[in-house]
Amino acid sequence: MKPSDSVAIIKHHFPELNELQISQFEALKTLYIDWNQKINVISRKDTDQFYLRHVLHSLAIAKFIKMKNGAEVLDVGTGGGFPGIPLAIYFENVSFTLVDSIGKKIKVVNEISNEINLKNIKAHHLRAEQIKNKYDFVVSRAVTHLSRFCPWVINNISDANNHEIKNGILYLKGGDIKEEINSVQKKYFHSTKKISDYFDDDFFETKLILHLSKKKKA
């Protein structure tokens, strides 16, 4: 029997969570529903499947890669904090910077992070092009076409590779992405992973993790 849409679905797929992480995940749904009545940060039709469609979807990245302590991650176009907040709860010793061009959404990110005492997040009202720091990975949930997204962030990726995959972009995307990959493959190495390999709900049937890294100039 599958867990219902509660924190149980997260515990089912991530049994290694500690008590603090579980309590932080448990608090998220009530906080987001409350804030969503003031500022629309997630689709209201998704609130009944909040843990599945927002939290678990974000955590697919944690199945794809085990980030090392001390890693630095940038979440671009985070909206209300996805995938950044769930990933920051899971990777307690990784530093996350969340940015969005809409200030009221960053307000929600900061308020929710404070409510659950999430210490490894910084959130800023910025456009991607304004970020100057370097990161191990840039994560995002399909904010725009890859041909636009990659040039925004590729210079923010550190050349120091300390993980089993190369530093780069980890993009949560759905549907047919062949055209998008074709538009960037001359400049970027890419690989894809079906999220349905990790989670068996029908929602993930067409969902992918796309990993992109920059090709060195000849």
Neighbours of 142 (CB within 10 A): 18
- Residues whose CB falls within 8 Å of the CB of residue 37, separated by 6 or more in sequence, listed in order: none
- For residue 168, the model assigns a pLDDT of 97
For the chain, 218 residues long, the average pLDDT of each consecutive 10-residue run is 76 98 97 93 87 97 98 97 98 98 96 98 94 97 91 94 96 92 94 97 96 83
Is residue 171 assigned to a domain?
yes
Is residue 1 assigned to a domain?
no
How far is the C-alpha of 94 from the C-alpha of 212, rounded, in Å?
20
Of 43, 22, 48, 9, give the one whose Cα is nearest residue 200: 9
Is residue 126 assigned to a domain?
yes
| pLDDT over 90 percentage in the chain | 87
Is residue 82 assigned to a domain?
yes
Is residue 2 assigned to a domain?
no
Q: Could you write out the DSSP letters of every residue in 145-199?
A: -HHHHHHHHGGGB-S---SSS-SEEEEEEES--HHHHHHHTTTEEEEEEEGGGT-
- For residue 88, the model assigns a pLDDT of 98
Q: Cβ(183)–Cβ(147) under 8 Å?
A: yes
pTM: 0.96
pLDDT in tens, 103-136: 999 999 999 999 999 999 999 999 988 999 999 9
- Residues whose CB falls within 8 Å of the CB of residue 117, separated by 6 or more in sequence, listed in order: 24
- For residue 71, the model assigns a pLDDT of 98
CATH number at residue 32: 3.40.50.150
- For residue 1, the model assigns a pLDDT of 41
Is residue 172 assigned to a domain?
yes
The helix (run of H) or strand (run of E) holding residue 12 is helix 7-13
Is residue 103 assigned to a domain?
yes
Domain ranges, residue 178: 7-214
The helix (run of H) or strand (run of E) holding residue 212 is strand 207-214
- For residue 142, the model assigns a pLDDT of 80
Is residue 177 assigned to a domain?
yes
How far is the C-alpha of 130 from the C-alpha of 183, rounded, in Å?
24
* Torsional sign, CA 24, 19, 12, 30: negative
Q: How many independent structural domains does the chain possess? A: 1
